[in-house]
Every structure is written in structure tokens, then in C-alpha cells.
Structure 1
């Protein structure tokens, strides 16, 4: 990490630290290809995610695209050139290796204890949509579009799109999107639960900064625990999810500055002041009019 702030340049990514090292922005940087992900970018992204995972100071991760688009998915044009063996078995092995890399990367992003925000403009297609689905929050411009239209180029998704899409969208809508290749505009994506907020392009940075500010106002251990129990609760039984909640409740009351008889903001709530009031006011201001 670069303490306090600063940038790290990769070939296909720009990584910038801000807010005293508590926020990192990962920018997909192939604007001439609408930020389509080639194999080198995928490897760089995996490397960056590992560095983020090991950084104890980071609280928020922002993923966005350079230029006018978030991500147009995989760079399919590279697939034939990188297969050493043109036999059916060789090609199948190559695709399996690449898909495994993509899935491991998506899983690693989803499992980060940091809060991940996707900031979307323009195309958010295929692997791009799959990246937003492993994020925790999504802020989009009103000119963005979303979809998994791989069927139109005779392939199926590889980052986990079909399995994750059903968490957000109803069964028939999922099948419409994957069987017909239909695209959603930003408002349709918001109505389906794929997007949290839709804003004009000239307000995208402002909206992102407001959401980040609210997240940074929270106690870090509780933010991590909240993400853990909501993410893992979707993957287990009701009893398992309740067990996660019980463990998290104990940790939030007794870890760090959350010493008994109550964490600081809980005490503030009881006496109607302090951090609790400030945090609630920030959220109220954020949600005025339904957008940041």
C-alpha cells in the first residue's frame, strides 16, 4: 500500500490510494477496448485483489473503468491466439484454465472483507456485469447498460454470471437475459436489484464520494462483520446464518473499542448524540430524492 495516498500503474490497471490509505480505486484501463478484460488484465486484477486482501488499513475498494465504459466483458478476440494446442482437447483445457482464473478472481473480490463499490458508466456487459455482482454496492450513470449477451457470440458465461444473476433477478428475467441476450438500461437494472443508485454522468464522482464518506464513518470491525454475515448468510442455511449473526454480535460488542457494557455508538444512541446521530444524518442526506 502507498501510505496516505498515491498511485500504482500496471499495464492494464491503475490503482490509486486515497483517504489516508483507507480507500483504493482500481481502474480497468483499456479504454480503447471498452475495458474488455484480456488474460493479462485478469492476472493483474488477481494480483491486486491479493494485495488488497492483505492490507489491514483499507476499508473501501472502488472498481471502475477508464473512459466512457465500465467493462465490455472478456476480450474474446484473444482466445484463439493463446491456445497452444489447437486440438479439441487442447482448446478445452485452455478455456478451463482461463475460466478458472476468472472465477477465482471474482470469488476473491466477493470474499474481501473490505466493502467493494462498482462505479459504472457505459457498457457493463458479460464479465463486467459479473464484476458488479461480486461488489457490495453499485452506482451507475443513467446512460449505462447491463447484460450477459454471450449467447450472441456462441459461448456461455465464465465468471459465475448465471449462478449469481439469479440472486438479484427473478427466474424468468434471468432466462430472458441469458437466452435472448437482452440488455437492461440503468433504471431497469436498479429495479431488478443489480444497481443501488442511478445518477447523471456529471454526478457520478460526487455520488461515489458521498457513499464512501458514509462507509468511512462506520466502525471498521462492524463494517467487516456486516459484510461477512450478509454475504455468507446467502450461502448457508437459516440456522447457519443465525449462528454467524450470534458470533458477529458478540464480536461487535467486545472487539477493539467496543468494550462492555456497550460500543461507543450504542452508548451515543442511548443518550441521543455523538457518532450515531452524525451517521444517521449522513444517510438521510444521501437518500434525499432517492439518489446520492
Structure 2
């Protein structure tokens, strides 16, 4: 599958998806979001993919936001349709069975910060910048930012970032829990790939079900959440991975998982 604004590489069960509009700082126009949705569809149906990495092309920007030039002439119906399009794609990313890591190599503003928050966790280059500047343009965040950002960093920090529209650097993003790790820019992809390989080496079914349980539990009460956890925990005992993982432990050897 070939795209105009999206590139991807699959290597040993790890797919790296790159938003590639460097001249526009990888801003998200409708065409790019449509392509990202098609790429997500390919990942959804490929059981050989164990981990997803999302990053931006070039060295300046992860995703600098939605394409303001494209938005500037939209009417209310078009604006709502654009927001729903992006929300749908980002929700599909959030709900991919595979873990998704955001490798934030530069500006993650507006839609870029919202895309990062739809990922499972985030590593940032020391040059990265974050923010939800939409109120300075007379609009609210529209790609899920009012919902996901406060869930990631807490209500207070989320509201402060959205109400002020201020930009923060990578170290501040780390301090408030928006990113898990900050590394020199030239080491970012190496560090992300190192973590992706660790995840890919584990029991694929167990990792995917753990993600499903976490996502389900965050959006419900704890009793409902742990009830779902009991179901997926039990389901694991029907897999070859469970038998291999526990047998390898007993035999004091490294497990070789097949994702079955």
C-alpha cells in the first residue's frame, strides 16, 4: 500500500509509521488523516505486527497540528466533519490491539499532541515541544484533546495547557507525565526501537489483552474493570504462548512466543 503523506516500514513485527509532510511541519490535512486511517486499517488486519511506532518526518516536527490553511475556509459543517474524521482515526489508533509508541521528534502541537495522546505512551526528543494552542485561533481542540490530554496528565495540567494555549518543552512534558522518557534527538528512534523490541519479545496475546484490559478499565469503575481483567486472564490459559512462557520459566530458558 502506497501513500502520499504517510510512510511505513515493517521490520521483525515492528511497524514504524511516519507522517511525512516536512514542508508543512507534518500538519494534518484531510488527505493525510484519510491516509493514516487506511494505514491503521492495514495494521488492524495484520496479526504479524506486534508493535506500532508513530513519528514525524524530518527533524523539526512530529505533527505541528491540523492544517490551519485547510481549516481557515471551513464552515461549521465542514469543521465538525473534519473533527469527527480525525477523532475516528485517533480512536482506532488508541484501540489497536498492538501497543502504539509515539516517537516525538519535534513539535507536537494541537492535532500532534492529540495524536500523541492517542498512543499508549510517548518518548520525546529533547528538542520536542508540546501544546494545545487552539484557543489562540478561536477554536477548541477538536481531535480528542479535551478528553485525552486531561486523562494523560491529570485534570489540572490538562486544563491549564488547553486554556492558556501555551507551549511546553520536553522536560516539562516529562515532569507532568505527558512523556515517559526524554532523550537526545539523535538517539530517539534507537531508544524507541529498543523498547519496541522488548515488547515484541513478550507473549503477543498477553500484551494485546493487557492493553484491552487497561483501556476498558480506564473508562469504567474499578469493579467492572477487574471483572474484565479476570476474563482476559483466564483466556490467556487457552493460548500456546501461556504454555510456552510458563514451561520456559520452569525449564529456566528463554521463552519463544508465537502469538498463538
**Normalised-by-shorter TM-score class:** over 0.9
Q: Superposition pairs for residues 123-142 of structure 1, below 5 Å? A: 123-142=107-126
Whole-angstrom distance in 2 between the partners of 1:257 and 1:106: 30
- How far 1:154 moved relative to its partner? 1.1
Matching residue of 2:156: 172
In the alignment, structure 2 segments of 5+ residues that lack a partner are none
Provide the residue aligned with 1:3 in structure 2: none
Task: Point out which structure has higher relative CO (alpha carbons under 8 A, 6+ apart).
Answer: 2
Spell out the pairing of 1:151-166 with structure 2 (5 A cutoff): 151-166=135-150
Asked if 1:49 corresponds to 2:40, the answer is yes
Residues 9 and 15 of structure 1 are in contact (CA less than 8 Å); yes or no, is this contact kept in structure 2?
no
Give the equivalent residue in structure 2 for 1:194.
Answer: 178
| Deviation beyond 6 Å, 4+ runs, structure 1 | none
Secondary structure, aligned partner of 1:236:
coil
Residue number in structure 1 paired with 2:11: 18
Is 2:89 the partner of 1:105? yes
Q: How does 1:107-256 map to 2 (within 5 A)?
A: 107-256=91-240
Tell me the CA shift for residue 274 of structure 1: 2.0
Is the CA contact (8 Å cut-off) linking 1:168 and 1:192 kept in structure 2?
no
Query: Which of residues 27, 51, 58 is equivalent to 1:67?
Result: 58
CA contact (8 A) 2:203 2:241 kept: no
Q: Which has the larger radius of gyration?
A: 1
Match of 2:31 in 1: 40
Q: Output the CA distance in 2 between the equivalents of 1:32 and 1:23.
A: 27
2:254 corresponds to: 275
Is the contact made by 1:118 and 1:139 (CA closer than 8 Å) also made in structure 2?
A: yes
Aligned alpha-carbon RMSD (Å): 1.8
Structure 2 distance, partners of 1:73, 1:243, is 38
TM-score (norm 1): 0.83
Distance in 2 separating the partners of 1:230 and 1:36:
30
Q: Describe the SS at the equivalent of 2:96.
A: coil
Q: Aligned with 1:15: secondary structure?
A: strand
Distance (Å, rounded) in 2 between the aligned partners of 1:97 and 1:211 = 36
**Which whole-Å deviations, capped at 9, do the CAs of 1:131-190 have from their partners, x for residues lacking one?**
111111211111101110111111111111011111122322222211111222112111
Q: Deviations over 1:217-249 (max 9, x none)?
A: 101111111111111110112121111110111
Q: Is the 8 A contact 2:27 2:65 kept in 1?
A: yes
In the alignment, the residues of structure 1 paired with residue 143 and residue 5 of structure 2 have an alpha-carbon distance, to the nearest angstrom, of 19
What 5-or-longer segments of structure 1 have no aligned partner?
1-7, 84-90, 279-292
Q: Partners in 2 of 1:143 and 1:217 — Cα distance? A: 30
Report SS of the residue matched to 2:124. strand
Query: Any idea what SS the aligned residue of 1:184 has?
Result: strand
Q: What is the CA–CA distance in structure 2 between the aligned matches of 1:244 and 1:228, rounded to whole Å?
A: 9
The whole-number CA distance in structure 2 between the counterparts of 1:142 and 1:58 is 29
